[in-house]
Structure 1
Amino acid sequence: MDSRTIYLLCVLAAAIVLLIFLINWRTKMHPFLALYITAFLTALAAGEPVADIPQTLMDGSGHILGNTGVLVFLGAMLGKLLADSGAVSNIADFVLEHSSPRMAPWIITLVAFILGIPMFFEVGLVVLMPVIYAVAIRLEVLHNRPQQWYLRTLIPAIAALCCLHGMVPPHPGPIIGVNALGADMGLTIVLGLICAIPTVILAGPIYANIIAPRIKLEPPDSLLTQYAGVTYEQAEEVYKRTGSFAELATDHGANPDAFGAPKDAPTQQPGAWSQTSATADSGLASVTKKSGVSTPLAITCVLLPVVLMLIEAITKIVAPNSHFQTLAGVIGQPVIAMLIGVLFTGAVVAIQEKWNGDRLRESVTKSLAAVATVVMIIAGGGAFSQALKDSDIGDAIVHATSALHINLILLGWFVGLLLSFCTGSATVGIVSATGILAPLVTGYSAPYVSLIIIAIGSGSVGLNWVNHSGFWFVKECFGMTIAQATKTHMVVQTIVSVLGLIFTFLLSLLFV
């Protein structure tokens, strides 16, 4: 490596140390400010002209706000409407009624895996957030608040969503790889799913079972109210008084005294989950008639954006350049799909729950206030990522690794991992890695080329740390410390990355 490459790598290391120092120092600087200061100093130290740095920061913030920030706001609106109307409670109860506490994380894994096929990581997590919170808070009550069910349900969702985002088309990264290396799209999807299934199982519910008891995560009441529509104390009071969670499906936002019902309210008949070990693994056979948006409609509200995005993805493959593809390309865009989902959910709530315009607007407005801080931190992460990109650190990594004579599967994974970590963008990692490997894949079989793409995508999701907006999104949405987010979000995605490499390499032995 030349001196310039070494210098840029040192700048990167110093930037990460500075960022961690500012956030954890005695001043406890807000992450948004710390990210912006670090971004500015990184660009300056890397030699970017001072006059160009403000535009770099604005470009980074604007790009991430346009792609992720708007989706977070729309997702928050959708989640708040579902929570306030009782829809999330009914979905959570439906999950619990058709499983046991031990099986609930596996069901969340399956749901996240399905959502992850067409949805970006952040979009899928935004859609799932209310269900994760609602299921977790019930399990917390049922098990006397061991403070581990939030992670038992969150970690499988992170594993499934990030795995599919990096390894399986029609996500942008894998599609870029398919186009750059001339791979077969259908074959890449099939092989990607084969690698993704065992990866998600191991990195999701199994890792969650190991790490959750060791991290006592307790999100603040503001987040519980935002996503589940109820605090732990309120859910516990209802369960102790009635023997079920059915009452949580009522509109507590419009009726703040709902938790003050008479103590002689009817209790649930035998068959419900109890807090005893004898019944903790049986289904919740609630006989209480639930209020709130019905479960089928609630599930429809959650899945509508997913279906629209999935239609767009399938149309790209089976009917490209058709008139239907044009329409599907519009309604399947994440922002449009989420907007349609919000409007549909608002109409459902207005009709079923008899909400007027003022009530709908109140719910939506409260949702925006709750996620404003999250969006600002994401914007700061975007500025930091852009500063890293404009500083040529990515080119330095390419220069340092392109001369390595190693297995193409391993080389693709390694370059994707390093560039994603250094620039804060999985897409940058994939684009750069495919550019390096493109002239090297000539003569290899179609399956092997597809596996190279999957390996690159696996590398791109690893080491998702402080310079990735997804890290800050998960951290803030669950009220985590940096240490907790590192042990969960970053470690989960790195496990996905390593397992993706392992399964890809094993499959490649069949096609060399």
Structure 2
Amino acid sequence: MLIFIMIASVALLLLLIMKFKVHAFVALTIVSLLTALATGIPINKILPTLLNGFGNTLASVALLVGLGAMIGRLLEITGGAKVLADTLINKFGEQKAPLALGIASLLFGFPIFFDAGLVVMLPIIFSVAKQFGGSLIRYAFPAAGAFAVMHAFSVPHPGPVAAGDLLGANIGLLTIIGLICAIPTWYIATYLFGLHLGKKYHLDLPKAFLNAMPINETAVLTPPSFKKVILILLLPLVLIMLDTVLNTLAVAKVIDGSQLWVETLRLLGKTPIALLITLIVSIVLLKNQRSYEQIEKICDSSLGPICAIVLVTGAGGMFGGVLRASGIGEVLASALGHTGMPVIVAAFIISSALRVAQGSATVALTTTAALISPMVAADPSLSQMDLCFIVISIASGATVLAHVNDSGFWLVSRFLEIDTKTMLKTWTVQETLIGIVGFIIAYVGSIIF
């Protein structure tokens, strides 16, 4: 009966989102309430269960997403993305221009979301394509794919953060594992495959791209230097690695983890603190490009667009809280245990099904993590490395088969002026390849480590 309720709740969730166009936040809230009632959670405990699941998720997600959005917006408005791309293109040369654009997008995709990053980079991509010639796909797909990979695999993006929190993964370790998995996935699934698509499909520049892209917003007279941009992008990674390395040394008894200096340095490496330090450093380094008053307005404007994302991830945590309290997770774990299917494989399959059905990678990530979190909690043999690879497996499933119900599909189609049939042959295939390659890397990593 509990398994049936779980299937019915997911079906209802998809029906509300796809058929009746209910916002994912509202749909998740409704389904969470109905699931709590159907599974027999006592009436007086339903609201506390909902609020605990929602609040616990927001406690970890909101800080990371908010700080990451501010950093990304500052780099966007001050021209940091253009500086990064121009410098790399000058260094790599004409033949490696797609590689340079892809690397720039990978770096810039660490703090900024897919939609915003793509909109900022497209004018740069168009300019490079116009200068060097050839199919626009050759330049656009490696860069757009980089944003897609980082959005799915990398902290502080909301999907992996929420999934990591629901599964109890160490966010610092997840950041490093996510990047390790993201780079080869991008190179194989988007850079090499993007070059192949560029040879197979010729795509001209959009006729009105100069008027369509908001290039004036990022055009600045005195953009930041390349060194400043690199420092801002690498600083949180260095700080987060500091926490992970010190924790590893403490576990190995190389150092005493209880010493004050170790605890202090590890605090600086906790992901929210690392991003906060990076934001402060960004404000100081970029003060020559904008006044402090303008910077405050930029930071404020960055929070509005992420409000819906934060609420959706919080509602996903609410759904997860209900599933844990109802005992569905234990029943599902027992059922999957009899099939012999590893959790990491089940996570990929469930996430893929949700992605195909409702389109949103973030919803697929959070819902899948909520569904399997009781299974993970019931398995004491899973290490922190295992948990991180399971998150990447979920993220991989949440990337496959992007099609007409995915907003990113239409964003790429609209800006590049690609018809739907060609999009299905190119972008959908590339997104699916990202998911397959990412899952293979995560699966192999879980076996080795």
Q: Could you say whether these structures have the same fold, taking a TM-score greater than 0.5 normalized by the shorter chain as the test?
A: yes
Partner of 2:206: none
Matched, 1:12 2:25: no
Matched, 1:107 2:100: no
Matched, 1:46 2:14: no
TM-superposed deviation, 1:386: 2.3
TM-superposed deviation, 1:430: 7.6
TM-superposed deviation, 1:138: 1.6
Which amino acid in 2 is paired with 1:77? M
Q: Is the 8 A contact 2:169 2:387 kept in 1?
A: no
TM-superposed deviation, 1:198: 5.2
Q: Is the 8 A contact 2:329 2:373 kept in 1?
A: no
User: Given the superposition, is the C-alpha separation of residues 193 and 371 from structure 1 closer, same or farther in structure 2, using an over 3 Å criterion?
Assistant: closer
The secondary structure found in structure 1 opposite 2:22 is coil
* Equivalent residue runs for 1:99-498 within 5 Å: 99=92, 100-104=96-100, 106-107=102-103, 111=107, 124-126=110-112, 133-143=119-129, 152-159=142-149, 201-206=187-192, 232-235=212-215, 248-250=218-220, 291-318=222-249, 319=255, 321=257, 322-350=259-287, 352-353=288-289, 355-404=290-339, 411-414=342-345, 417=348, 424=367, 426=369, 429=372, 432-433=375-376, 436=379, 438=381, 459-464=393-398, 491=432, 494-496=435-437, 498=439
Cα distance in 1 between the residues matched to 2:298 and 2:179: 38
Matched, 1:31 2:24: yes
Cα distance in 2 between the residues matched to 1:393 and 1:456: 19
Cα distance in 1 between the residues matched to 2:335 and 2:191: 37
TM-score, with structure 1 as normaliser: 0.60
Q: Is the 8 A contact 1:85 1:293 kept in 2?
A: yes
Q: Is the 8 A contact 1:152 1:205 kept in 2?
A: yes
Q: Is the 8 A contact 2:74 2:299 kept in 1?
A: yes
Q: Is the 8 A contact 1:458 1:496 kept in 2?
A: no
User: How far does the alpha carbon of each residue in 1:372-413 deviate from its partner, in whole angstroms, 9 at most, with x for none?
Assistant: 222222222222232233222211121113345x5xxx6353
Which amino acid in 2 is paired with 1:500? I
The secondary structure found in structure 2 opposite 1:139 is helix
Which amino acid in 1 is paired with 2:231? T
TM-superposed deviation, 1:39: 1.7
Q: Is the 8 A contact 1:434 1:456 kept in 2?
A: no
The secondary structure found in structure 2 opposite 1:98 is helix
Which amino acid in 2 is paired with 1:323? L
Cα distance in 2 between the residues matched to 1:450 and 1:65: 21
Cα distance in 1 between the residues matched to 2:91 and 2:103: 9
Which amino acid in 2 is paired with 1:356? S
TM-superposed deviation, 1:66: 1.6
User: Given the superposition, is the C-alpha separation of residues 479 and 323 from structure 1 closer, same or farther in structure 2, using an over 3 Å criterion?
Assistant: farther
Matched, 1:70 2:63: yes
Which amino acid in 2 is paired with 1:463? G
Matched, 1:21 2:15: yes
Partner of 1:280: none
Matched, 1:60 2:53: yes
Q: Is the 8 A contact 1:250 1:292 kept in 2?
A: yes
User: Given the superposition, is the C-alpha separation of residues 48 and 378 from structure 1 closer, same or farther in structure 2, using an over 3 Å criterion?
Assistant: same
Which amino acid in 2 is paired with 1:62? G
Cα distance in 2 between the residues matched to 1:233 and 1:194: 32
Q: Is the 8 A contact 2:246 2:262 kept in 1?
A: yes
Which of 59, 78, 87 pairs up with 1:85?
78
Q: Which has the larger radius of gyration?
A: 1
Q: Is the 8 A contact 1:459 1:498 kept in 2?
A: yes
The secondary structure found in structure 2 opposite 1:309 is helix
Cα distance in 1 between the residues matched to 2:344 and 2:256: 30
Cα distance in 1 between the residues matched to 2:6 and 2:269: 37
User: How far does the alpha carbon of each residue in 1:273-295 deviate from its partner, in whole angstroms, 9 at most, with x for none?
Assistant: xxxxxxxxxxxxxxxxxx22112
TM-superposed deviation, 1:152: 3.6
Cα distance in 1 between the residues matched to 2:197 and 2:6: 30
In terms of fraction of residues, the more helix-rich structure is 2
Cα distance in 2 between the residues matched to 1:299 and 1:395: 46
Which amino acid in 2 is paired with 1:325? V
> Unaligned regions of 5+ residues in structure 2, if any?
204-209, 250-254, 352-363, 401-405, 414-419
Q: Is the 8 A contact 1:458 1:497 kept in 2?
A: yes
Which amino acid in 2 is paired with 1:31? A
Cα distance in 2 between the residues matched to 1:194 and 1:298: 21
- Please, what is the CA RMSD of the aligned residues? 5.0
Partner of 2:355: none
TM-superposed deviation, 1:43: 2.0
How many residue pairs get aligned? The number is 392
User: How far does the alpha carbon of each residue in 1:176-213 deviate from its partner, in whole angstroms, 9 at most, with x for none?
Assistant: 79xxxxxxx9xxx99x9998875554445356668999
The secondary structure found in structure 2 opposite 1:414 is helix
The secondary structure found in structure 1 opposite 2:342 is helix
TM-superposed deviation, 1:296: 0.7
Q: Is the 8 A contact 1:155 1:492 kept in 2?
A: no
User: Given the superposition, is the C-alpha separation of residues 320 and 131 from structure 1 closer, same or farther in structure 2, using an over 3 Å criterion?
Assistant: farther
User: How far does the alpha carbon of each residue in 1:452-472 deviate from its partner, in whole angstroms, 9 at most, with x for none?
Assistant: 788756655453389xxxxxx
Cα distance in 1 between the residues matched to 2:430 and 2:322: 23
User: Given the superposition, is the C-alpha separation of residues 198 and 82 from structure 1 closer, same or farther in structure 2, using an over 3 Å criterion?
Assistant: closer
